Structure 1
Amino acid sequence: MRHYVYGYVLLAALGFGCAKTPATSTTGTAGTATTSPVTDAAVLSEAAPKYASSVTAADLSRHLTILASDEYEGRNTGEKGQKMAAEYIAREFREDGLAGPVKNNTANPYYQPFDLERSMWGDGYMLIGKEKYLMMQDFFVLGSSPFQTEQAVDVVFAGYGIDDPAYSDYANLDATGKVLVVLAGEPKGADGNFLVSGTAKASDWGNDYRMKRNAASEHGAKAVMIVTGTNPGEFNSLTQRYRSYANRPSIGLKSSAEKPEAATIFISPVAGATLLSTTTEKLLNYNTQVARAGKPVTADFKAAKDVRIMTERKSDPLPTENVLGFIEGTDKKDEVVVVTAHYDHVGVDSTLQGDQIFNGANDDGSGTVAVIELAEAFAQAKKDGFGPRRSILFMTVTAEEKGLLGSEYYSENPVFPLGNTVANVNIDMIGRMDTDHEKTNDSNYIYSIGADKLSSELHQINEAMNEKYVNLTLDYTYNDENDPNRFYYRSDHYNFAKHGIPIVFYFNGVHADYHQPSDEVDKIIFESAEKVARLAFHVTWELANRENRIVVDSNKK
């Protein structure tokens, strides 16, 4: 955008826009004139189009041509290209006048550094009496595991592993130091509604295995085994993606020594039933008992006594970093709007013939450059006296492709209190058409996801800003609570939403180049990306400058 500064100065001199220039007042320091920041919401609203127009297709292209070039080697987490991208983004933030808000990082306050663990599985098995079940065949472990050497364990059945005010499997259950066996999903009542939500909509307990992991951890369990599928074939189908990655290095957050995390193990129904000295049919029939009772019931399963587990894992630290740029607000500066995109991708695959570099232009170089552009636009507005009333944190996060790890780390170690965080605007994949829209050559759309999940006002703001300024088609296909793709749970905004922070997620959908070396810059429709980025700008501007903080009045998360 710096290429257009002089043009804006000229336009401003000619009366560009309707916004009034901030009033000046004389200070006592050698008669220097200072500009008082505008805090009137109506005046700030008038100024918005001027700064939104500085977010251009040309500038998005300029940044993306660099970040998604072969030189950046696919920006794989912890590797050279990711480090280069972090340096590029931090330099842009610094040169645009954003502050580095990470006060405990004196070396580089634009970085929130942390260590992930890069690890590979070694030998793994589970012995139940004389029966032997193999890791990578009968069970899969996600994340870390405490069973580096063979250990005898105590097994307890814990229903669905749910601990919710509406339904808890932990009443009168001693989970400390135990291995919990739980069923996947969540229970329904006799009326067909889910017992947790009381409606036909599944809750996070059925959609996000981490909820069960976290509950088990809170109750001191050593591991939670989630019985997956109803038969061996279904188990194999549901765990196929784990099987395909089983022999590759995996990356995860380190467990805290003070508060260790329960191991998460997806286990076949046959092995699960053996652990409880029962049959697969009787184990899976537990859901019928719960439906009939409408609440957790005590099962008559008898846990096997002679159980030993070993899941050898060889781990090394993998340093990485989120990149943060901060614009302090004026009269409401303690409240913060967070704008995010992930800047990592999946790196290089040397086994491929031909192009081996996964440049990730759309995923999510496109969102990253949009955040850079929005940061510069807001920084210029502040320089001109039209700075935001609420503070804005522009954050590009690492390790999204490894499981939303960068945003999860921030949500557990926030630089600004989550209680003061008003909303999250997340941009992940813009400027392309998905396979459905390619059929009609329609690029004037964006999938809008999640704005209504926690705040009806955020949904209204999103629609109003689009209608007033941008006129994209807001496609709510993936906002459907029953959408099988579960995109609401698959990008960085979810780590804010799970803490009750309203979010809006902009996404162009999946195409043939998704996670392929062919996700290249020349396939980005920058005029489309410009429109989506400007919508994100206007929504952020409204969230930062409106009189009242948006309400949290829904619970669809």
Structure 2
Amino acid sequence: MKRSLLMFVPALSVSSVVFGQAPTETPDLEPPAAAVQSITAPEIGGHLNFLASDVMRGREAGSPEAKIAAEYLASHLKAIGAVPLGDPERGRRSYFQKFWLEAATPSSEGAELSLTLELDGATRSIPCKLGTDYMYAPHGVVAGEFDAPAVFVGYGRVQPDRSIDDYAGRPDVKNRFVLAYRGLPDGRPGNDFFSSQAKSQTAREKGALGLILIDPPGASPARPALPMSPAEVGFDRPRVTLGPAPAEIPVIALSDPIRDVLVASLGLSGPDVSPPRMDAVGDLRVRLVHAATREPREDRNVVGYLPGSDPEKKKELIVFSAHFDHEGVKNGEIYNGSDDNASGTSGVLEVAQAFGAAERPARSIAFLWVSGEEKGLLGSKWFADHQALPNGWKIVADINMDMISRNDSMKIGATPSPDHKEYNTLVVDAAAATKAEGLEMIFDSDPYFGRTDSYNFAAKGVPVIFFFAGLHDDYHKPTDDVEKADLEKAARVARAAFRLGWKTAQAPEPPKKVEGKP
């Protein structure tokens, strides 16, 4: 298998094997012309044709194909002589930083809910069908069978500074279900304190097994009406998390007919009325069965660096980052993810090759490809939280490329903008770097600042820039194929990123935050 895979690996250009030379005494902020020119559209296309080919089956995080992609990236780091910065393997550092994912798949087929009313010596059982009679968001809910009484708590509000506590005087809800009205007594849908999420958090903190929300009698439903497909809220679809997902309690919505039965049977005659019979435990029992499978998956980031030439500044690391995972295969269709994000992955490969062929700048340069971005920026979060750097070293900048090969060939989006709180000198210098490549840098990408991997560096106080060519009709569709890639644009963006990285590596001071437009 390994031998056959090599047929798909584009050859490195001759320039990638040129060893670094001794640095000049005065740092040159202008990058070596030969290194800039080594970043070409054909080489970008060569990487894309492998990474976004059908044989890679969409490179889903934790998949065998994602592991193959990681090996491909690591082989290029080895070829340029990069120092491994990953986990130890066989007594020495590797290019791989491993982390564990968990794929949890809730099953609609195994879901059950039954309500039992015990009133005046009579018992009435109400079986409920998922999607027709009830619904809840399943991810994070612990699998198992739960059978317990329900406690009515009015609107389920707790806000001590306003002397509001709807749980006061009620039976203890620990290991029981909570039944509560949705919204507020005046008919409003709720606010930050009294939203469904806040009510769920309160019930969870009090030890409840689950929360059942119903509209007050006479209120107009403010939620999407049942029936709905269980798939709409996540049943039968895996959700991948960094390790086991935090445990959540189910927040169950009932259909109007089921709600009406409870209202009539329990005497819920008005939105402000707490029926006496619900002050006791036992009139309503709830049996909930939640079925889910959990699958651990090993995933890997790929990381290595080229040491800087200055004895002190080399301890300041500039990171080039991109995610290499995509959506995998859905309903038999391969989501190749050429633009998202084989393009950025290829851009960082070309930047790494260019730095490998050039003399060493003052600061060290790291090349990081992360997985799990499509699952919630998981790989970059793991890296940001587990930086295994040499003693005394720190990351001073992150230059991130995600989706750089589509839309207007002469424009590239960037964030943070001058209006963003994370605006920094890296972005200021990027304007000149993009201009040198004939690109107009536009600030249209702030809404996506938190949706890519540079966010996790910014959360650690690291100045970042995210190059982003924007969404398009093929975004997260099986039609995001290499044939639609603007290879020349991707090469221009990668060259601009190299220019920016070189200047940052040679500058007297590392990047820093600034306020407003320069």
Deviation per CA, 1:27-70: give whole Å up to 9, x if none.
Answer: xxxxxxxx3x4474xx3313344422221112111111121122
1:115 and 2:89 matched: no
Q: Which amino acid aligns with 1:396?
A: W
Structure 1 residue matching 2:430: 3-state secondary structure: helix
- Displacement of 1:498: 3.0
Report the counterpart of residue 396 of structure 1 in structure 2. Answer: 369
Structure 2 residue matching 1:371: 3-state secondary structure: helix
Contact preservation (8 Å) 1:235, 1:269? no
- Displacement of 1:121: 0.9
- Displacement of 1:127: 7.4
Report the counterpart of residue 444 of structure 2 in structure 1. Answer: 477
Report the counterpart of residue 517 of structure 1 in structure 2. Answer: 478
Report the counterpart of residue 377 of structure 1 in structure 2. Answer: 354
CA RMSD of aligned residues (A): 5.1
Instruction: Measure the CA separation in 2 of the matches of 1:232 and 1:471.
Output: 55
Report the counterpart of residue 144 of structure 2 in structure 1. Answer: 148
1:450 and 2:427 matched: no
CA 1:310/1:552 → structure 2, altered by over 3 Å: closer, same or farther? farther
Contact preservation (8 Å) 1:430, 1:508? yes
1:411 and 2:384 matched: yes
Structure 2 residue matching 1:517: 3-state secondary structure: coil
Structure 1 residue matching 2:328: 3-state secondary structure: coil
Contact preservation (8 Å) 1:127, 1:308? yes
Report the counterpart of residue 92 of structure 1 in structure 2. Answer: 76
Contact preservation (8 Å) 2:16, 2:80? no
- How do residues 61-210 of structure 1 correspond to structure 2 at under 5 angstroms? 61-106=45-90, 109-122=94-107, 123-124=110-111, 139-141=135-137, 143-150=139-146
Q: Pick the structure with more strand per residue.
A: 2
Contact preservation (8 Å) 1:453, 1:502? no
CA 1:349/1:108 → structure 2, altered by over 3 Å: closer, same or farther? farther
Q: Which amino acid aligns with 1:454?
A: E
- Displacement of 1:111: 1.0
1:463 and 2:431 matched: yes
Q: 5+ residue gaps in structure 2?
A: 1-10, 118-125, 165-172, 183-190, 261-265, 273-278
1:530 and 2:491 matched: yes
Q: Which amino acid aligns with 1:323?
A: V
Report the counterpart of residue 247 of structure 1 in structure 2. Answer: 236
Contact preservation (8 Å) 2:137, 2:234? no
Report the counterpart of residue 5 of structure 1 in structure 2. Answer: 15
Deviation per CA, 1:212-256: give whole Å up to 9, x if none.
Answer: 9xx99x99989998999997665479x99961642223322213x
Instruction: Measure the CA separation in 2 of the matches of 1:472 and 1:228.
Output: 55
Contact preservation (8 Å) 1:125, 1:311? yes
- How do residues 236-315 of structure 1 correspond to structure 2 at under 5 angstroms? 243=232, 245-255=234-244, 261-263=246-248, 310-315=289-294
Contact preservation (8 Å) 1:143, 1:252? no
332-341 or 94-103, larger mean C-alpha shift: 332-341
Structure 2 residue matching 1:348: 3-state secondary structure: strand
Instruction: Give the structure with higher Rg (CA).
Output: 2
- Displacement of 1:128: 8.2
443-452 or 84-93, larger mean C-alpha shift: 443-452
1:492 and 2:453 matched: yes
- Displacement of 1:388: 4.1
Q: Which amino acid aligns with 1:318?
A: R
Q: Which amino acid aligns with 1:340?
A: S
Using the aligned pairs only, state the percent identity: 28
Contact preservation (8 Å) 1:225, 1:266? yes
Deviation per CA, 1:44-103: give whole Å up to 9, x if none.
Answer: 313344422221112111111121122222212222321221111111111111121124
- Displacement of 1:152: 5.7
Instruction: Measure the CA separation in 1 of the matches of 2:175 and 2:448.
Output: 34
Contact preservation (8 Å) 2:137, 2:233? no
Report the counterpart of residue 344 of structure 2 in structure 1. Answer: 367
Q: Which amino acid aligns with 1:144?
A: G
Q: TM-score, normalised by structure 2?
A: 0.70
- Displacement of 1:430: 1.2
Count the aligned residue pairs. Answer: 452
Structure 2 residue matching 1:414: 3-state secondary structure: coil
- Displacement of 1:542: 2.8
1:432 and 2:406 matched: yes
- Displacement of 1:373: 0.9
Instruction: Measure the CA separation in 2 of the matches of 1:248 and 1:242.
Output: 7
Q: 5+ residue gaps in structure 1?
A: 10-20, 23-34, 162-168, 170-174, 185-193, 197-205, 284-301, 434-441, 480-485
Contact preservation (8 Å) 1:125, 1:135? yes
Instruction: Measure the CA separation in 2 of the matches of 1:65 and 1:488.
Output: 28
Instruction: Measure the CA separation in 1 of the matches of 2:254 and 2:315.
Output: 50
Structure with more contact order per residue of length (Cα contacts < 8 Å, sep ≥ 6): 2
CA 1:183/1:140 → structure 2, altered by over 3 Å: closer, same or farther? same
Q: Which amino acid aligns with 1:315?
A: R
